[in-house]
Amino acid sequence: MKAKITLRRGRVLGVLNGLQKSVRTNVILRGALATRREYHDKSFGFRKPREYVFPDYTQSQLDNRVTNSNLLRYVDAMRTHGHRAAHIDPLDLIHREEVAALSPERYGLTNPEQRFNVDGILWTKRVGEAVEGSGEEWWTLSEIRDHLRRVYVGNIAYEYMHSPSKSERLWFSHLLESQSPPLPADEPPFQIDADKKKRTHELLARSEVLDNFLQVKFPNLKRYGLEGGESMIPALDSLFCAASQAGVQHIMLAMPHRGRLNLLTDLLKYSPVALFHKIKGGYEIPEELGAEGDVLSHLFSSPKLRYPGTNHDLKVSLLPNPSHLEAVNPVALGKTRAKQYALLKTSPEDCQLGDRVMCVQLHGDASFAGQGVIMETFGLSNLPHFTSGGSVHLVVDNNIGYTTPASNARSSLYCSDVGKMVNTPILHVNGDHPEDVAKAMDIAFRYRNYFRKDIIVDLLVYRRWCHNELDLPSITSPLMYQQIAARKSVPALYESKLINEEVLSAQDIVSVRESYKSHLETELAKVDGYFPTASMLQDQWSGMVWPASEAAERDPPTGVKIQVLEKVGKASVAVPDGFTIHPKLERHVKNRLKSIESGTGIDFATAEALAFGSLMLEGIDVRISGQDVGRGTFSHRHAMLVNQETEGVIVPLNDELKADGKLELANSSLSEMAVLGFEYGASWERPNLLPIWEAQFGDFFNGAQVIIDTFISSAETKWLRQSGIVLTLPHGLDGAGPEHSSSRIERMLQLTNDSYSKPAESANINMHVAYPTTPAQYFHLLRRQICRNYRKPLVIAGPKGILRLSSASSSLAELAADTAFKPVIADLTAGASAERVVFLSGKVYYELLKEREDRRLSERVSLVRIEELAPFPFGHVEHVISNLYPNATEYVWFQEEPRNQGGYGHVAPRIEGLLEEVRGWKGKLRYVGRRESALPAPGVGKLYREQQKAIIEAVFEGL
């Protein structure tokens, strides 16, 4: 019987076969989301989680489940506990006790010939005795037991009964137990024919040949080969084939180092000559670009594959990754969603995320269980502003991490248990059986494609050489490696199987291996004539330029016509009739409209809205994510307004401007590493997106430090990958929880490759670090990110303490056409009469300004704000020293951070170098600020105030 799958909103997705009853599928909201549905519906980019809803059991089925309750308990026990007895470990090292729950006698079922009506209990094709028209189907206990053991106690083990979704549990039991699974009419059931078997063998054999070839030619190379885990290759091939046949056109693939070279050369078309060139110490990128490349196990590729039964290519993008194994996973997730961003704009109702793009994440067992980014990324998987339509996770499970056995590496039975935090189904499969591995991947894709949720395949294998080929694993795991040494390889086991089945002959097998070995020899001979090419400015990046090129526009116009600013400003607080805002926001709306009309008093939130809206009118999309970004951590942004009567939401810039560009306000989970990684991945995919991650407080970036260190600061140098990611890190010391307010500027500056002396015009810094002190400066920084014809990461130390400070406001004229960001803001009050020049950054300027006025020292002390710390503005500071204050006799650097923190360590040698060059100054730049400390500021308010008073007074000491 065929039944249509319908959606509450959208198109018909397919037809299910083999169900006894009509199955209808609706898009609904789950759990807590259901109570806050209206809150998010009108927020651009919000994608409702999708869930298939199967109809409940019929009354006759319910009655039968009661009548045969003991049988029901037995069947459910097999579904729940069968994995504990399945043959999934090739080394049989997992400790397994007898599973009493799998014995029918435990439920009073003792007669193997007793017949039972299985309707509503067991899902199967009608091979038993059926009663015409009644729905009844009678099986003996012996038939039931054998059938369940074939399904649940084989080389594949299933964990899905922990799901709270009845629909998902029913889907699995139907699919696994029935020989007529619920498939769309145009999708054939999984099968492995002779051609598929030959394809699987070829992939396995070539992987082993490559490992053997590299061992002979480069015996001292750490290659992190697949030996023992070769089934990973046909697993991915099966997944790619199923995805391509279902209409997926692009796969974002993230993986660690083990097996990476095998996958690249075996399946992803990476040139062996390029690999050998790299192994021999050559560049993988053109030397003239000035980049420095990365290690061998981080190579990447983006080939187009074509699978049988399809008329389109499948592009598989293996992302570059750092050595911090799992950090790439949220990056891949963000890139996957960003690939589908256009569909969110053009088809918000009909678009189903995951129809054309899929994220696939490979993991090692130790890192999967041990790395917190895994849990953070799972936490994003179903969130409305982060879901990408479901990821397939493949864990290459060696039962060992480096040299640490699993018993010391995790507290759970399986490494995959962490996926249960979001009720992810898990399939465990024995890597010694490639055909079962392929079947498990096929089932995983079907689940992901129906439910658009994550699923895990735990591929149990082993490492023939432990962590790398130079290890001596028997030192720490002698018994394991005695077993491994005595085993045939996975390809050899499969070859024996195919010979027995007469699919391949012994000569066929020799031919496959010798042919590939000959190919590798030919490629190795080409190394001396190989020259790498670059692929960094293709497809969506084709309009960009390389940042170090002469065509790079470093300081493009960023100002906007006044009329446009006025339009955007009014739209940013437009409230439709009948929409009730919170009473305290009425003042917010009134003040913004007043500042727009007068052209003065523009605060930071207004300047930000003007930057966003003006970019949107130019067709640029803006996405800002983090905790509470719609309102703003400091209740200042209010880019999202909530109806106080209905909790309905509007984003005025979207609703009123109706621009081609859209603003997505992605209030995130309490995650830093995964969320920043997600936004960074989006920045790789879309140069026409302004992606912003806002830390709730400055030092919250600590939780995302790995992403900053291994991606944001170094991706261009390692992989030629540009990014326009913006980090806004609220910064400011106030003595009331100061540890929450420091963006650790010193860390960001240390990560830059900023020159210590005046660089050439084409100098290519890896990222920018700025500390703006006016709304106009913030406005221009945001727009500059997009107006340039290249992309650079930008870290903004957010001016937390001056968000609403009237003396820190700007005028519309400072945002107008022909205005731009100023890396240095010089004080022109004193001019030539200035005796002391005080360089500083950030909001403390306003405290010094007030103190200077109170002391009437404006003509003797000049305050110079360095707004962009990296790249250090040599030319601007040189102009200040040589032209503005020719009679100055003292130069000071002032900061409120301790001496070992803040900007001092970065700016001091650079300013001192300029002073010596321009003025012949041989002395040191005088430091004024807090002494060295382990804290950004003391946590005791009284002590903080005493210190702050003392350092401010020290600036004017002696005058």
Q: Could you read off the pLDDT of 676-686 as tens digits, one per residue? A: 999 999 999 99
Calpha distance 398→462 (Å, rounded) = 4
Q: How confident is the model at residue 9 (pLDDT cuts 50, 70, 90)?
A: very low
Instruction: Please spell the DSSP secondary structure of 137-169, one letter per residue.
Output: EEEEHHHHHHHHHHHHSSSEEEE-TT-S-HHHH
Whether 42 shows a pLDDT value over 60: the answer reads: yes
Cis (ω within 30 of 0) for the bond into 823?
no
Q: How far apart are CA 306 and CA 313, in angstroms?
A: 5
Q: Please check whether residues 66 and 127 belong to one and the same domain.
A: yes
The Cα–Cα gap between 699 and 672 comes to 11
pLDDT band of residue 824 (cuts 50, 70, 90) is: very high
What separation in angstroms does the CA of 8 have from each of 13, 48, 52, 348, 351? 12, 12, 11, 14, 13
pLDDT at 518: 97
- Does one domain contain both 164 and 240? no
Is a pLDDT exceeding 80 seen at residue 540? yes
> Range with the lowest mean pLDDT among 477-486, 592-601, 772-781?
477-486
Q: Rounded CA gap, 177 and 595, in Å?
A: 68
Classify residue 242: in a domain, yes or no: yes
pLDDT at 128: 41
To which residue do tokens 């399939």 refer? 427
Measured CA distances, 645 to 18, 185, 628, 641, 650 (Å): 47, 46, 21, 12, 13
Instruction: Give pLDDT, residue 924.
Output: 83
Residues 169 and 267 in one domain: no
> Which CATH number characterizes residue 597's domain?
3.40.50.12470
Q: For residues 352 and 63, which has the higher predicted lDDT (pLDDT)?
A: 63
Same domain for 805 and 687: yes
* Same-domain check for residues 271 and 409: yes
Q: Is pLDDT above 90 for 94?
A: no
**What is the pLDDT at residue 634?**
86
Query: Per residue in 103-133, pLDDT tens?
Result: 999 999 999 999 999 999 998 754 344 455 5
Cβ pair 795, 727 in contact under 8 A = yes
DSSP reduced 3-state for 624:
strand
Tell me if 396 is assigned to some domain. Answer: yes
pLDDT for res 462: 87
Confidence at residue 402, expressed as pLDDT on a 0 to 100 scale: 65
Asked, for residue 46, whether it belongs to a domain, the answer is: no
User: Please, what is the end-to-end C-alpha distance for the chain in angstroms?
Assistant: 94
Report the pLDDT value the prediction gives residue 698, as an integer from 0 to 100. 76
pLDDT value at residue 23:
33
Q: What is the pLDDT of residues 622-632, one digit of tens each?
A: 999 999 999 98
What's the whole-number mean pLDDT along residues 57-69? 94
C-alpha pair distances (Å), 617 with each of 549, 560, 565: 29, 11, 11
The predicted structure's pLDDT at residue 922: 79
pLDDT at 351: 65
Q: Containing domain of residue 570, as a range?
A: 562-731+771-815
Q: Which residues are within 8 A (CB) of 153 and not within 5 positions of it... i.e. 6 or more apart?
A: 78, 82, 85, 86, 87, 102
For residue 656, the model assigns a pLDDT of: 95
Do residues 212 and 150 share a domain? no
Would strands 250-254 and 357-364 be described as parallel, antiparallel, or unpaired? parallel
Give the model's confidence band at 37: pLDDT under 50 very low, under 70 low, under 90 confident, else very high.
very low
- What type of residue sits at position 697? F
Instruction: Give Dmax over CA atoms of the chain in angstroms.
Output: 108
Q: What is the pLDDT of residue 350?
A: 64
In 10 A of CB 513, how many CB atoms?
18
**Confidence at residue 401, expressed as pLDDT on a 0 to 100 scale:** 65
What's the burial of 475, exposed, middle or buried (CB within 10 Å: 0-12/13-18/19+)?
exposed
Computed over every residue of the chain, the mean pLDDT equals 88
Sorting pLDDT into bands at 50, 70 and 90, what band is 733? low
* Across 224-250, average pLDDT: 94
481 and 360 within one domain: yes
Q: Is residue 187 part of a domain?
A: no
What stretches of 157-220 show up as alpha helix (H) in DSSP? Answer: 166-177, 194-217
Picking from 62-71, 172-181, 724-733, which range would have the lowest pLDDT averaged per residue? 172-181
* Nearest CA among 122, 30, 123 for reference residue 68: 122
Q: Which of 392, 391, 399, 393 is nearest to 365 (CA)?
A: 399
pLDDT tens, position by position, 258-302: 999 999 999 999 999 999 999 999 999 988 888 888 888 899 999
> Which tokens is 265 given?
């050369």
186, pLDDT greater than 90: no
Predicted model pTM: 0.92
Considering 178, 210, 226, which residue would you say is the last residue of a domain? 178
Does 148 share its domain with 215?
Answer: no
pLDDT at 419 exceeding the cut of 70: yes
Among the residue ranges 51-60, 411-420, 801-810, 841-850, the one predicted with the least confidence is 51-60
Same structural domain, 363 and 453: yes
* pLDDT of 504: 96
pLDDT of residue 719: 94
Residue ending a domain, choose from 526, 541, 572: 526
Same domain, 791 and 924: no
By CB atoms closer than 10 A (0-12, 13-18, 19+), residue 97 is exposed
pLDDT of residue 534: 86
Residue 3 has pLDDT above 90, yes or no: no
Taking each helix axis as running N to C, give the angle between helix 583-598 and helix 562-571, from 0 to 180 degrees, rounded to the nearest 10: 170
**322 shares a domain with 361:** yes
Considering only CA atoms, which of 666, 673, 727 is closest in space to residue 698?
A: 727
- pLDDT at position 20 is 32
Annotate 254-265 with three-state secondary structure: ECCCCCHHHHHH
Domains of the chain: total: 4
Q: Are residues 831 and 806 both part of a single domain?
A: no
Confidence of residue 35 (pLDDT cuts 50, 70, 90): very low
* Boundary (domain end) residue, out of 154, 178, 202: 178
Alpha-carbon span 156 to 153, nearest angstrom = 7
| Confidence at residue 491, expressed as pLDDT on a 0 to 100 scale | 95
Of the listed ranges 33-37, 116-120, 133-137, 202-206, the least confidently predicted one is 33-37
Torsion of CA 366, 434, 488, 208, to 10 degrees: -80
In a domain, 31, yes or no: no
**CA–CA gap between residue 257 and residue 593 (Å, rounded):** 55
CATH number at residue 366: 3.40.50.970
Least confident of 87-101, 309-323, 400-414: 400-414
Nearby residues of 507 by Cβ (< 8 Å), 6 or more positions away: none
| 656 in any annotated domain | yes
On whether residue 712 sits in a domain, the answer given is yes
Rounded Cα distance, 621 and 689, in Å: 5
Distance CA 244, CA 253 (A): 14
Q: Using 50, 70 and 90 to split pLDDT, how confident is the model at 675?
A: very high
Quote the pLDDT of residue 24: 30
Residue 207 is assigned to a structural domain of this protein: yes
In tens, the pLDDT along 359-393 reads: 999 999 988 998 999 999 999 999 999 999 999 99
539: left (phi over 0), alpha (psi -120 to 50) or beta: left
Predicted local confidence at residue 179, as pLDDT = 56
